């Protein structure tokens, strides 16, 4: 199982939203088919077929827990799967 798959499972099964590495979450969003634009600390992700735009910012080396929850809700709402 790759690190992206492990992180995907970690997020889906709600294991500690506070311990998700920010760079890992950004890489996961790209593997889910999102496009990214970076302005300062703001990493903005969008994808065709997904109405919401996701804005992620780091908190140290980790992602903010509420943003991890937002990503989980998007995965579940749209049935997003990892692209190979």
**Through-space distance between the first and last CA atoms of the chain, rounded to whole angstroms:** 12
- Domain assignment present for 83: no
C-alpha 28/C-alpha 83 separation (Å) is 10
- The number of folded domains in the chain is 1
pLDDT of 1 > 90? The answer is no
Question: Residue 17 is part of which domain span?
Answer: 3-78
Mean pLDDT value across residues 52-79: 96
* Residue whose entry in the numeric block shows the structure tokens 């190979």: 84
Q: 83 falls in which pLDDT band (50, 70, 90)?
A: confident
Q: What is the mean pLDDT of the chain?
A: 94
pLDDT of 84 > 70? The answer is no
C-alpha 26/C-alpha 22 separation (Å) is 6
Please give the pLDDT value at position 60: 94
pTM value is: 0.92
Mean pLDDT value across residues 14-37: 94
CATH code for position 17: 3.30.920
- Domain assignment present for 84: no
pLDDT of 67 > 70? The answer is yes
Which of the 8 DSSP states describes residue 60? Answer: T
Residue 55 CB contacts under 8 Å (≥ 6 apart), including other chains: 42, 43, 44, 45, 67
C-alpha 59/C-alpha 66 separation (Å) is 11
């Amino acid at each position: 199982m790759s690190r992206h798959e492990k992180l995907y499972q970690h997020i889906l099964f709600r294991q500690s939203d506070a311990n998700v590495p920010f760079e890992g979450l950004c890489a996961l969003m790209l593997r889910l088919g999102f496009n990214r634009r970076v302005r300062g600390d703001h990493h903005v992700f969008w994808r065709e077929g997904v109405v919401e735009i996701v804005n992620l910012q780091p908190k140290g080396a980790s992602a903010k827990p509420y943003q991890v929850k937002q990503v989980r809700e998007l995965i579940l709402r749209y049935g997003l799967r990892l692209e190979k």
